[in-house]
Each structure stands twice: as C-alpha cells, then as structure tokens.
Amino acid sequence: METDETAKHARHIDGLGGSCNDATILVVDDEKSMRELLSIMLLNDGYHAETAASVSEAGRRLRRNGVDLVITDLRMGKDAAAGMKMLAKVRETDRDIPVIMITAYGSVDTAIEAMKKGAIDYVQKPFKNEEMRIVIKRALEQKRLKDENARLRAEHIRLGRLGQIVGTSKVIEDVRELTERVAGLSSTVLVRGESGTGKELVARAVHELSPRCDHPFVAVNCAGIPESLLESELFGHKKGAFTGAIETRKGLFEAANGGTLFLDEIGDMPLALQVKLLRVLDERIVRPVGTAERVVIDVRVISATNKHLEDEVREARFREDLFYRLNVIPIRLPALRERGEDIPLLAAHFLVKYAERLNTDVSSISPEAMSFLEGFNWPGNIRQLENTVERAVALCGGRTVEPVDLPRNIIEYCPELDEEEHAPLPSGGVDLELRTEALERSLITQALVKTQYSQKKAAQLLNVPVRSLRYRLKKYGMSPNSQRERKRVEERDSVTEQDSSKKA
C-alpha cells in the first residue's frame, strides 16, 4: 500500500491543462476486489468512478455516453481476449475514449497488440497506485489535448467559412447566423438575392459547416447548360441514349452523393425538367436518361436565384410545388447598396487578395478613392466591387489606390441620375455626356445656393461625400468662390434694375 505522502503527491500531479478531476472513468474487471480498489483510488483522487463486471455490462454503460476513460482487464474469467473485445467495443462507440489495459499475463507481444488496436497504455499487475495514477493522468491529458485540438480545428473551419462572408453590418451578421444555424440540417435551402451578392459563397459555407463537409460540393448553373443537355447533366445517361452519348456517364446528383448539389439560377430551369427534379427530391432516386435503372442518392440540394420566384409561379413559368419544396429554408442576401457600411471592409479584403495574386506592392486605398467607392450604388453588387478593386490594383502606379485608378462611371456617378433612369428618350436622341454634366452642374449649384455655399451641407443635400463634391467642383471649374461672386453680381444687377425702374 502507498503512504499518505505518496497519495498526496499523486493527487497533485499537474498536467499541461490543469485538473482533469471532472472525468468519469469506467473500470471493467471481473474481480470485485480490483473494481473496489480502483474505485476507491479514483474517488479519493476526485474522479467519478463507475464499474462493470463484464464486457456486455460495460457496453451498456458506454451507450449512455459520458465516459472519459476506460480501464479494463485483459483477461476476464476464462476469456483471455476479453480486454481486446472491450477495446473493440469502445472503438465502435467512441474512438476518442482512451483505454488503459491491465494484465497479469502481460508480455511485450500482448502490449504491442493492444497498442496497435488502439489502447493508449497498459499496466501490468501487480501495480503501484502511484504508477496507475500517473498513467491515468497522462491518458486524460492526452484526451484533453486531442479534444481541444479538435475543437480549435472545428472553430477554425467555422470561422474560416463564415469569415468569407465579409461584413459587419446587421444584415450580413444575420446572414452569417442563419447560415451557421441551418448548416447542420438536411432541409433544402433557397438562397435569394441579386446577381453578384455571393449566393454560391453562402451555399458553400452551408455545405462546409455541415456534417456533409467531407463529401462533394457540386455546383451547376441551370442557365448555362442547354435545355437538351441539362437533364443528362443532372441525372446522367446511358451510352447511346441520344446522339453524342458515346459512353455511359453519371449525373451530377450521383457525383454529389453524400454531399451537396448547388443548383444556381434555378429560376431558369425548364418546366419539363422541374417535374423530374421534384420527383428526385421526393423519392431520392434518379433515373439516368435512356435506362430504366433507378439509382438511390443521398444529396442535400441548395438552390439559388436572382428572380422573384413567386412572380414566376404566378406567370406559370415555375412550378408552385417545386417552389415550396425548394424554399424550405430561405436565405436572402442583401444588395450591396443595402449594406454600404461594409464597402470599406470588402474593398480592403479584395485589395489584399489581388495585391497578392498580381504580385504588386499596392497596400491601401486613399480616403478620396474610398469616398467614391462608398458613394456608388453598385448595381453589380459585390462582384462588381471585386472587379473594380482588381482593376484598380492592376492599374495603380504606386502603393495606394487613388481616384484616377477607378473607372470613370464611379468617379462621375450622381445619385440623382437614378431617379431619371426610366425617363423617356426623346425621338431625336440626346447627348448623354452633356446632359449628365448639365444635370450635375445644376444640382450642385442649387445645393450650394441653398446652403450658403457650405460644401459640407451641400454634399449632405446631394447625398455624396464631401470629397466627391470637391472633385466635381474642380472638374467643372465650379469653385465655391466663383459661384458666390456670380451670385453677388446677379443680386447687384437685380438691385440696379429695380432702382432704375423706380426712377423711371
């Protein structure tokens, strides 16, 4: 038996991660005296101890979960392989539970065999309590580190996938939260939003955060494949099923088996094919073209569209039953103009991406250039912003992106033009540049007059950054001083005319 001092020392052995005394340890041994001895030792050390007299009894306890470590005898009664059977049962239940093997009949060969099959350590009878304590402590610490590494890896993956959905606005935070919540489900998801808002990015995040992440993610653009070939592309075909089918080919549903199939632009799928897609979603069976073969599939379907499918249903261009089948969990992506506060973060993200890809020294965007990016309405959404930043990085002559590196339509953008977007075109046509310039000059002049020539207040009236207003003033030669002087001349002339009229 150990001394009190030895027991005290053993109870204070520190692992790398501190105390593991909350652990539940299952002792499996057919000898009652051994079960009691180990239980007392474990309880004295602050562990939760449970015991089982057989492999079958231990198996029932394992199924209730909550076991952190198993200590099992190698031989129980006449069964010399009981410990190995216990080891196998633990591996079937939870491969992460460490197993310590105890044997009075041990040998090097037995120890090697046990370690090869997954035992973390072994102790030979008769053992000292201090020796067993150290082995237990080491096994639990290894499990803790393994669990922590797994947790950190999972968190890294989670943050990595969600981190690709860039932005801090409330609407995009809601998208990230919903994406994470639905990832673990098996329900179909319909991602809705304008072109360029990142629908496929969200679909990939749902897949990569789901239990299907180790299986394929297969994407298909329903609008990019001719109607005559889309059915074969999705469901596969048999050799000779149609002209050009020179070999049997699996469809994308089979290719995505166990994983996720992303159907982009689902609103453009032909009606005839919508019927077949609905049947596949309901039956989980595909029928390749040209054969009566039935292939069972396990695929989660995520679809996306930039169309208003409710309108498509009303116009009989999209099946109502398929719409409800796909729209079990909708995720709406906001347009970039709805999340303007995310533009600087997105622009910086793309700047780093393309500076590295193009191997340039560009490292920042000037405040003036950023003001133009923030003031634009981005009809092409994130895709257009990304292309704009890529262009700016490619053309930038220094380390900082300046307004000169941006496209002209962004520099010259005027919000008021949006209001006249649908104005009828005169039969004789117009000079677009002159009309745009005239409109800008007029609106800028009115804003300056209304605000007593305060550039800050005028910019607020025009809903553009101050830097953008200054750029336009310089472009059109409309300095505030010249405008103010013109106003004074007009007022003086007006007074002179009034005086002349009175004298007359």
- 426-466, pLDDT tens digit by residue? 556 667 777 677 778 778 877 887 787 788 888 888 888 98
CATH number of 417-498: 1.10.10.60
pLDDT at residue 151 in the model? 67
pLDDT the model gives residue 8: 36
Distance of alpha carbon 310 from alpha carbon 190, whole angstroms:
13
Q: CA nearest 251: which of 286, 283, 292?
A: 286
pLDDT at 406: 92
**Residue 336 in this model has a pLDDT that exceeds 90:** yes
Rounded average pLDDT over 398-413: 87
Spell out a b/e string for 126-137, using b for 16 or more CB atoms within 10 Å of the CB, else e: eeebeebbebbb
4-149 fold: Rossmann fold (3.40.50)
The CATH classification number of 336-413 equals 1.10.8.60
**3-state SS, residue 319:** coil
* More confident of the two residues 266 and 166: 266
CA separation for the pair 483, 489 (Å, rounded): 10
Pair of tokens at residue 238:
């048999």
CA distance 454 to 443: 14
Q: Which of 48, 47, 1, 56 is nearest to 28 (CA)?
A: 56
Helix (H) or strand (E) holding 69: strand 69-73
Rounded mean pLDDT, 266-288: 92
Under DSSP, the state recorded for 225 is: S
pLDDT of residue 116: 80
Q: Is the pTM of this model over 0.85?
A: no
Helix H or strand E encompassing 331: strand 329-332
CATH 3.40.50.300 fits 164-240+249-332, yes or no: yes
Residue 478 CA to residue 491 CA, distance in Å, equals: 19
Note the pLDDT tens digit of each residue in 55-79.
889 888 888 878 999 999 888 888 8
Same fold, 4-149 and 164-240+249-332: yes
The ranges assigned to domains in the chain are: 4-149, 164-240+249-332, 336-413, 417-498
Does the pLDDT value for residue 328 go beyond 60? Answer: yes
First to last CA, the chain: 130
Q: Mean pLDDT highest for which of 162-176, 285-299, 320-334?
A: 320-334
Q: What pLDDT score was predicted for residue 199?
A: 95
Q: What is the pLDDT of residues 229-260, one digit of tens each?
A: 888 889 987 776 676 767 878 889 999 999 99
Chain segment 107-138, per-residue pLDDT in tens: 557 767 777 888 888 888 888 889 899 999 98
